[in-house]
Structures are given as structure tokens and as C-alpha cells.
Structure 1
Amino acid sequence: MTTALITHPDCLGHETPPGHPEQVARLERILTALEDRDLVRVSAPLVAEDDLLRVHPRRHVEAVRAAAPISGIAQLDPDTWMSSGTLAAAHRAAGGAVRAVDLVLSGEVRNAFVAVRPPGHHAERETAMGFCLFGNVAVAAKHALVHHGLARVAVVDFDVHHGNGTQDLLEDEPRALFVSSHQFPLWPGTGTADETGPHDTILNLPLAPGTGGAEFRRAYEEKVFPRVQAFKPDLILVSAGFDAHRDDPLAELMLDTGDFAWVTERLCDLADTLSGGRLVSCLEGGYNLHALAESVAAHVDVLIARGAA
């Protein structure tokens, strides 16, 4: 068994204003960090319309398309921008997550990392926000449930910001567990522990500013891993944001590269126990370029080692 890397040059065509943290250089640095790794390299396809429409109403999809500029850049909200290349990038980002699910569930690879942008976990049903246009991981989760007929999937999001979009897109789906650890208080201001969803399939772990690796690991051991274990998913999806790193400029958690490797190992342990090792990880945040590249490399090195086992 092996590990797949799903990406596409179109994801470098999503341009943001100078100084914007979600910049082309993020993906460039990641791909450079991974260029010598032993990975099955797969081109991210454009997402199928049916997959998008499982989580977003048609009016949202059409609104995003209508907002795409022919040239220059267009602003959707204070944080979220589109350039002439953004629409293709967003379709590749969601399509790459779906392709990863197909590869893992078909047994072609054991696990996969989806290196795409724009990210997705802030995109709500009808709202593009927080650098995100479509809910990439939610699209992949629904594809796994509907197209592949899985009984249950779990999404674990360790980005420093609450995955409000993924929560919004999946909270009505009793077959999907969504777990988010995140700094609180912090934008977008959601993700309190009492947000559990109509089917009790939402678990939020708000972490105070300054929380370090020991507290992070304890929260996962005591709350996240037992909850995922009890849910018994057929597939684990990861929203892999690396902006909880101590060097990230957008937040105040104090994780280091070793913490990301640790949580990846433990999620792979769960996947081995519950889902035959099947795990798909999708890039979300991470805005210090050095910390991002180093942390992604550590994350993917774990996936490679586990994929070869």
C-alpha cells in the first residue's frame, strides 16, 4: 500500500492581494518540501456538479461562479478574494478531495494528502468566507457516504480556527461525525462546546490562547480519540490546518511540528483499528511559510510510513 499526493497547477492560479496570508507561496513551499517524497502523484480533477450540490445549494454554486472576475481580483468579503484563476482552483480543490476518497476506498492507496487551495472548512451552505469558497472536506464526506455507500465517516479538524463551514454542511447528516479543536476566542467566533448538532454528531474543543502541545495532546486523548472510536467510522477525513503552530501569525496556540506528527500518528492508529487504515487528509490553514512546509512534511512522512506498513 502507498500514499497519494493529490494536487494541480490550477491551485497556484488562485491569486490574492499582496500581503494576504492565503498566498500562492503556501502551496509552492509545500510542494517543494514534498518533491523528494515517495508518493503516488495524482492530478486533482474538477469537482463534479453532483458532488458540490450535495452540500451547497445551486444558488451558492452559481453565485461563486458569477463572482469570478475575468481579470484582476474581486473581493467577496474582508478576507475572501477571487482572481481569474480562482474558480478553476476551487473546483480542483473540491475535486481533489473527492478523488482522494475514491483512491483510498478503491484500495489503490492506503491514505492520501490533498495539497490544494483555496481551503474549504469555513465555507458554509450559502456563504463563502474565511478564504474558502466550497466545503472541500464536507464534499468528500458526502461523496463517501452517498457514492460509496459507507455507513459512517468522521472528520477531524485540527486547524487553529473553528471549522464552522464543515459543521454547517454536515451537522444535519447523522452518518458524519465532525470534531474540531481550535483556539477560542478567535475568528470566526463559533465552536463552543455546547454546539453539538441535532444528532449529537458535533464535538468542539475550544482551546485557550497559549495552549501548548501537552494540553492539546491531553484533550485529544481524553475527548477526541474516544469519541471517534465510539462512532466507528468507515473512513477518517482530516482537515489539516497547521496554523496552530507557535510561529503562525494569525493565532496564539503553541503547537510545534512534533505535535502535528503525533496527532497524525494517533489518527492513523484509529484508522488502522476502525477503517482498514483508510484516511484522507486535506490541507486547510497555515500561514508561516517555514512552519507550514515543515509541519506538512512531518504530517505526510507519517502518512507515508503508515501507508507502507
Structure 2
Amino acid sequence: MTTALITHPDCLGHETPEGHPEQIARLEHVLAALEGKELRRVTAPLVAEDDLLRVHPHSHIETIRAAAPKEGIIQLDADTYMSPGTLAAAHRAAGGAVRAVDLVISGEAQNAFVATRPPGHHAERETTMGFCLFGNIAVAAKHALDHHGLSRVAIVDFDVHHGNGTQDLLEDDARALFVSSHQFPLWPGTGTADDTGPHDTILNLPLAPGTGGEGFRKIYEDKVFPAVTAFKPDLLLISAGFDAHRDDPLADLRLTEDDFAWVTGRLCDLADDLCGGRVVSCLEGGYNLMALAQSAAAHVDVLIARGAA
């Protein structure tokens, strides 16, 4: 078995204003860090509209399509922008997540890493937010459930920001467990521990500013791994944001590459026990370019080792 890397050059065509943290260089650094690794390299397709419609209404899709500029850069909300290349990039990001699910469920790959942008875990049903247009990993989860007929999926989000969009898109579906560890207080201000969703399938784990690897690992051992084990998913998805790194400029957690490698390995352990090792990971945040590249490489190195085992 192998590890698939899903990406597309279109994702380098999404331009943001100078100085914006979600910049083209993020993906360039990640891909450079993965150069030469033993990966099955797969082109991210454009997402099918039917897949987007599993989580977003037609009006949201049309609003984004209509907003796409022919030149220049436009602002959708406080943090999210579009350039002429953004629409294709956003469709590749969601389509790449779907393609990863297809590869892993079919057995063509043991696990997969989707290296695309823009990210997705802040996009709500009808709202762009936090650099995100479509809920990439939620689209992938619904594709696994509805198209492939899986009974249950689990999503673990270790980005430093609460995955408010993923929660909004999936909390009404009792077949999906969503776990988010995140710094709190921090933008977007959601994700309190008492917010468990209508089916008790949401596990929010706020982390105090300054939390380092020891505190992070403890909450995963005490809370995350037991919750995922009890849910017994048929597929494990990861929102892999690396902005909880100690060098990231947008937040105040203190994780290192070793912590990301550790959590990846432990999640792969769970996947081995619960769902035949099937893991799909999608890139989310991470805004110190060197820390992002090194953390993503550490994450993927673990996936490669497990995929080859």
C-alpha cells in the first residue's frame, strides 16, 4: 500500500493581498518539503457540484461563482479574498479531498494527504470565513458517507483555530463525529467544551494559550482517542492545521514537529484498530513558512511509514 499526495498547480493561482498570512508561499513550502518522498502523486480534480451540494446550498455556490473577479483581488469578508485563480483553486481543494477518500476507500492507497489551498474548516453553510470558501473536509466526509455508503466517519481537527465550519456542516449528521482541539480564547471565538451538537457528536477541547506538547498529548490521550474509539468510524479524516506550532505568528500554543508526528502516529494506530488504517488528511492552517513545511513533512513521514507497513 502507499500514501497518496493530492495537489494541483491551480492551488498556487489563488492570490491574496501582500502580507496576507494565507499566501501562495505556504503551499510552495509544503510541496518543497515533500519533494523526493515516496508518495503516489495524484492530481486534484475539480469538485463535482453534487458533492458541494451535500454541505452547501446552491445559493452559496452561486454567490462564490458570481463573485470571482476577472482581474485584481476582491474581498469577500474580513479575512477571505478572491483573485482570478481562486475559483479553480477552491474547486480543486474540495475535489482533492473527495479524490483522497475515493483512493483510500478503494484500497488504491492506505492513506492520503491533500496539499491544497484555500483551506476549508471555517467555511459554514452559507458563509465564507477565515480564508475558507468551501468546507473541504466536510465535503469529503459526506462523500464517504453518502457515495460510498460508510456508516460512520470521524474527523479530528488539530488546527489551532476551532473548526467552526466543519462543525456547522456536519453537526446535524449523527454519522459524523467531529473533534476539534484549539486555542481558546482565540478567533473565531467558538468551540466551547459544552457545545456538543444536537447528537452529542461534537467534541470541542479548548486549550489555554501557552499550552505545549505535554498538555496537548494529555488531552488527546484522555479525551480524543477514547471518543474516536467509542465511535468506531469506518474512516478517519484529519484537518491538519500546523498553526499550533510554537513559532506560528497567529496564535499562542507551543507545539513542535514532534508533537504533530506523535498525534499522527497515534491517530494511525486508532485507524489500524478501527477502520483498516484508512486515513485522509487535509491541509488547513500554518503560517510560519518554515514551521509549516517542517511540520507537514513530519506528518507525512508518519503517513508514509504507516502506508508502507
TM-score (norm 1): 1.00
Whichever residue aligns with residue 268 of structure 1, its letter is: C
Distance in 2, matches of 1:183 and 1:198, equals 23
* Partner SS state of residue 160, structure 2: coil
Q: Which amino acid aligns with 2:174?
A: P
Match of 1:85 in 2: 85
Structure 1 stretches of 4+ with a deviation exceeding 4 A read: none
Provide the C-alpha distance between the structure 2 equivalents of 1:65 and 1:182, rounded to a whole number of angstroms.
31
Q: Percent of pairs identical after alignment? A: 83
**Count of paired positions:** 309
Q: Which position in structure 2 is the counterpart of 1:300?
A: 300
**Secondary structure at the counterpart of residue 41 of structure 1:** strand
Structure 2 distance, partners of 1:68, 1:274, is 42
SS at match of 2:94: helix
Aligned-partner residue type, residue 70 of structure 1: K
Give the aligned partner of residue 145 of structure 1.
145
1:1-309 matches, within 5 Å, as 1-309=1-309
What do the CA deviations read for 1:37-61 (whole angstroms, capped 9, x no partner)?
A: 0100000000000000000000000
- CA–CA distance in 1 between the matches of 2:129 and 2:65? 15
Q: Distance in 2 between matches of 1:168 and 1:77?
A: 18
- SS, match of residue 298 in structure 2: helix
Structure 2: gaps of 5 or more residues: none
Separation of aligned partners in 2, 1:33 and 1:293: 6
Q: Distance in 2 between matches of 1:106 and 1:139?
A: 18
TM-score in terms of structure 2 length? 1.00
Q: State the alpha-carbon separation in 2 of the partners of residues 200 and 67 from structure 1.
A: 36
2:167 partner amino acid: Q
Q: Distance in 2 between matches of 1:265 and 1:143?
A: 25
What is the rounded CA distance, in whole Å, between the counterparts of 1:182 and 1:124 in structure 2?
A: 18
1-structure distance, mates of 2:78, 2:105 = 38
> Could you tell me how far 1:273 is from its partner in structure 2?
0.3
Q: Secondary structure in 2 aligned to 1:236?
A: strand
Superposed CA RMSD = 0.3
Instruction: Please give the per-residue CA displacement for 1:235-266, whole angstroms capped at 9, x wherever unaligned.
Output: 00000000000000000000011000000000
Structure 1 residue identity aligned to 2:70: I
- The runs of 5 or more residues in structure 1 that have no matched partner are none
Q: What is the CA-CA distance between 1:78 and the residue it aligns to?
A: 1.5
- Aligned partners of 1:196, 1:33: CA distance in 2, in Å? 37
Measured in 1, the distance between the counterparts of 2:18 and 2:41 equals: 30
| Deviation string, structure 1 residues 74-121 (Cα, Å, up to 9, x no partner) | 001111000000000000000000000000000000000000000000
